[in-house]
Chains A and B, each alone.
Chain A
């Protein structure tokens, strides 16, 4: 297996009593609750953690994009990636990813990724995402065209990377008379494209298509769903007439390791519960604006939610561990859980989130060290 160390860069000094006066930690949370001094300290901490991950032997260090939220402080993840390139030498740098439909000219994404790929001499992994529903509130982009814009932006970027320029791009949402990238990407034909997703069947089919074969990364899901989605990709590949390799499969999850089960559970508790209840939670209207999913997917999702009868913001460390949404335990039990999913799916990429929610630097660093020394080597 290959291992990525990933952080969302949550704003930990958040006043939770104040946060709870608002419907979400996204878009509507007043930015008067953000302190620039503390924000600068947070960036230092997280960048140091990712740089340290290379020394610990992680194959990849990873960042991502979210807007107007205390959940993650990276509206422009490429800026962080650029800083990471200067402070590392061998590990891959994954941006998981840029939200393509949010820009009005995808050329900027093609250009920036080409620059990062060149600056790092080919260490970039380029993630392509749509962003979660809240980004469409934050950025004023119409969610009803999110899918169309994603597909079209993808075409434009890949063509910009691979077709000799100048050429003209003629689309529905995007048009450019001259597409002619300087610089072009360092890697040939272009940096690997990864597709993180919450598991929509349309996305899985598209990523698995023979002309793409993009690694698909399941993010934050209960373990039975992780297994189901990864095997959906495998089945799709079979339908397309080929066998998916483990390198085409990825799984992103919060992980916490300590010497004993009790200690791991106690130390992961605040981080895991704050991640899911305080930082990530969004009301329906914000998480799934109309058109973000097709009408049929939306109907299915609503029915599933009703059937589950889930009450918002009631996750506990125990419920999260039980569903396998977070992996918490001793090196031995964590290894076993990961190996189990690997054996059921053949997944080869594990994107581990070793700092999450309000978890302190001290715990995060200890977690990273233990994971790197006691878990990773056994699963390689």
Chain B
């Protein structure tokens, strides 16, 4: 069980899921918005104080006009860490959230103890095209994001309430601001990833149809001493498709290299 709380940064109030106790984990979500609390998060709470803030502009929060791109989001989260990261945090980011996490860590990692990037956006492997989640229909998107098509069907069969549907529109709007062009990419980011000296683990599904697994190898090369873990028969949502395996992969890393 998580508590729905509110985090205030820069005059923006965003929703934040929080549970557990111990060292702090901050999980930065992907483009589809504040995640469902599931066994992945539950497993992490056994030993950690897990905070899952909603990005400003997502959900019902109104992003200030000053938050227009990924660099702005990184600066926003540096303020967030000043406000909520006392004592340092283990930073985990998925997809869009992974990109933001890497941008933060390049700028200032003084409040970050370790970095876990799950299929992050932000870097390109020339010649290896990524999927186009902006042109895919909702059905195609879900089918392409997970390998297990029974899971895809279950996800699609759940009809969102009107309120949830409204939030999804807002999420897509904000994700578009951040990732449309260049598509899910900051061309300069790879020039600065050498600044990340944190214990870093990169997690990728071997059958990610949005960001192919070749991108994982690229990230491993760009961040010195980082560790790449490839999950088999897994798509773009490791924490949804394999919640316990993914949580265990992160916990082992935090107990080992990141200690």
B180 at the interface (CB under 8 A from A): yes
Interface size in chain B (residues, C-beta < 8 A): 18
How close is A158's CB to chain B, nearest CB, in angstroms? Answer: 24
In the complex, the answer to whether A143 meets B137 with C-beta atoms within 8 Å is no
Q: Chain B interface: which of A67-75, A231-239, A282-290, A335-343?
A: A282-290
Q: Which of A100-156 contact B (CB under 8 A)?
A: 136-137, 140-145
B96 at the interface (CB under 8 A from A): no
How close is B181's CB to chain A, nearest CB, in angstroms? Answer: 5
Q: Chain B interface: which of A191-199, A253-261, A291-299, A345-353?
A: A291-299
Residue of A nearest to B141 (CB): A285
In the complex, the answer to whether B135 meets A286 with C-beta atoms within 8 Å is yes
In the complex, the answer to whether B135 meets A137 with C-beta atoms within 8 Å is yes
Enumerate chain B residues within 8 angstroms of A302, measured Cβ to Cβ: 165, 169
In the complex, the answer to whether A285 meets B177 with C-beta atoms within 8 Å is no
In the complex, the answer to whether B176 meets A285 with C-beta atoms within 8 Å is no
Alpha-carbon distance between A142 and B184 when the two chains are bound, in angstroms:
12
Total A-B residue pairs with C-beta atoms closer than 8 Å? 52
Q: Which of B133-189 contact A (CB under 8 A)?
A: 134-137, 165-166, 169-170, 172-177, 180-183
Alpha-carbon distance between A361 and B173 when the two chains are bound, in angstroms:
43
In the complex, the answer to whether A285 meets B134 with C-beta atoms within 8 Å is yes
Enumerate chain A residues within 8 angstroms of B166, measured Cβ to Cβ: 295, 299
Enumerate chain B residues within 8 angstroms of A283, measured Cβ to Cβ: 137
In the complex, the answer to whether B169 meets A144 with C-beta atoms within 8 Å is no
Enumerate chain A residues within 8 angstroms of B183, measured Cβ to Cβ: 140
User: Contacts A298-B169, A299-B169: A143 and B176 contacting too (C-beta < 8 A)?
Assistant: yes
B169 interface neighbour in A137, A140, A145, A290, Cβ under 8 Å: A290
How close is A19's CB to chain B, nearest CB, in angstroms? Answer: 17
Enumerate chain B residues within 8 angstroms of A27, measured Cβ to Cβ: 135
In the complex, the answer to whether B134 meets A145 with C-beta atoms within 8 Å is no
How close is B33's CB to chain A, nearest CB, in angstroms? Answer: 13
In the complex, the answer to whether B177 meets A142 with C-beta atoms within 8 Å is yes
B137 interface neighbour in A144, A285, A290, Cβ under 8 Å: A285
Enumerate chain B residues within 8 angstroms of A304, measured Cβ to Cβ: none
A266 at the interface (CB under 8 A from B): no
In the complex, the answer to whether A142 meets B176 with C-beta atoms within 8 Å is yes
In the complex, the answer to whether B172 meets A141 with C-beta atoms within 8 Å is no
User: Contacts A283-B137, A285-B137: A291 and B169 contacting too (C-beta < 8 A)?
Assistant: no
Alpha-carbon distance between A298 and B173 when the two chains are bound, in angstroms:
10
Contact with A along B211-224 (1 / 0, CB 8 A): 00000000000000
Q: Which of A37-88 contact B (CB under 8 A)?
A: none
In the complex, the answer to whether B180 meets A142 with C-beta atoms within 8 Å is yes
In the complex, the answer to whether B135 meets A144 with C-beta atoms within 8 Å is no
Q: Which of B135, B136, B170 has the most CB of A within 10 A?
A: B135
B170 interface neighbour in A141, A285, A295, Cβ under 8 Å: A295
Alpha-carbon distance between A137 and B176 when the two chains are bound, in angstroms:
12
A28 at the interface (CB under 8 A from B): yes
Contact with B along A147-174 (1 / 0, CB 8 A): 0000000000000000000000000000
Enumerate chain A residues within 8 angstroms of B136, measured Cβ to Cβ: 285
In the complex, the answer to whether B173 meets A144 with C-beta atoms within 8 Å is yes
In the complex, the answer to whether B176 meets A144 with C-beta atoms within 8 Å is yes
In the complex, the answer to whether B180 meets A143 with C-beta atoms within 8 Å is yes
In the complex, the answer to whether B173 meets A137 with C-beta atoms within 8 Å is no
User: Contacts A283-B137, A285-B134, A285-B135: A145 and B170 contacting too (C-beta < 8 A)?
Assistant: no
Residue of A nearest to B171 (CB): A290
Residue of B nearest to A27 (CB): B135
User: Contacts A137-B135, A283-B137: A290 and B172 contacting too (C-beta < 8 A)?
Assistant: yes
In the complex, the answer to whether A145 meets B177 with C-beta atoms within 8 Å is yes
Q: Which of B7-54 contact A (CB under 8 A)?
A: none
Alpha-carbon distance between A299 and B168 when the two chains are bound, in angstroms:
10
In the complex, the answer to whether A290 meets B173 with C-beta atoms within 8 Å is yes
Alpha-carbon distance between A142 and B176 when the two chains are bound, in angstroms:
7
Enumerate chain B residues within 8 angstroms of A289, measured Cβ to Cβ: 134, 176, 180
Alpha-carbon distance between A252 and B180 when the two chains are bound, in angstroms:
32
How close is A102's CB to chain B, nearest CB, in angstroms? Answer: 12
Alpha-carbon distance between A285 and B181 when the two chains are bound, in angstroms:
16
In the complex, the answer to whether B180 meets A295 with C-beta atoms within 8 Å is no
Q: Which of A288-328 contact B (CB under 8 A)?
A: 289-291, 295, 298-299, 302
Residue of A nearest to B140 (CB): A285
Alpha-carbon distance between A143 and B136 when the two chains are bound, in angstroms:
16
Enumerate chain A residues within 8 angstroms of B180, measured Cβ to Cβ: 136, 140, 142-144, 289, 291
Alpha-carbon distance between A299 and B180 when the two chains are bound, in angstroms:
21
How close is A81's CB to chain B, nearest CB, in angstroms? Answer: 29
In the complex, the answer to whether A290 meets B134 with C-beta atoms within 8 Å is yes
How close is A283's CB to chain B, nearest CB, in angstroms? Answer: 6
A28 interface neighbour in B135, B169, B172, Cβ under 8 Å: B135
Alpha-carbon distance between A295 and B176 when the two chains are bound, in angstroms:
12
Enumerate chain B residues within 8 angstroms of A136, measured Cβ to Cβ: 180
Enumerate chain A residues within 8 angstroms of B172, measured Cβ to Cβ: 290
How close is A24's CB to chain B, nearest CB, in angstroms? Answer: 9
Contact with B along A14-30 (1 / 0, CB 8 A): 00000000000001100
A-B contacts besides A137-B135, A142-B180, 13 pairs, CB < 8 Å = A136-B180, A137-B134, A140-B181, A142-B176, A145-B177, A283-B137, A285-B137, A286-B135, A289-B180, A295-B166, A298-B173, A299-B169, A302-B165
* Chain A to chain B: the 10 pairs with minimum beta-carbon distance, closest first: A290-B172, A290-B176, A144-B177, A142-B180, A144-B176, A290-B173, A291-B176, A142-B181, A291-B173, A140-B181
14 contacts between A and B (CB under 8 A): A27-B135, A28-B135, A137-B135, A140-B182, A142-B177, A142-B181, A143-B180, A144-B174, A144-B180, A285-B134, A289-B134, A290-B134, A291-B177, A299-B169
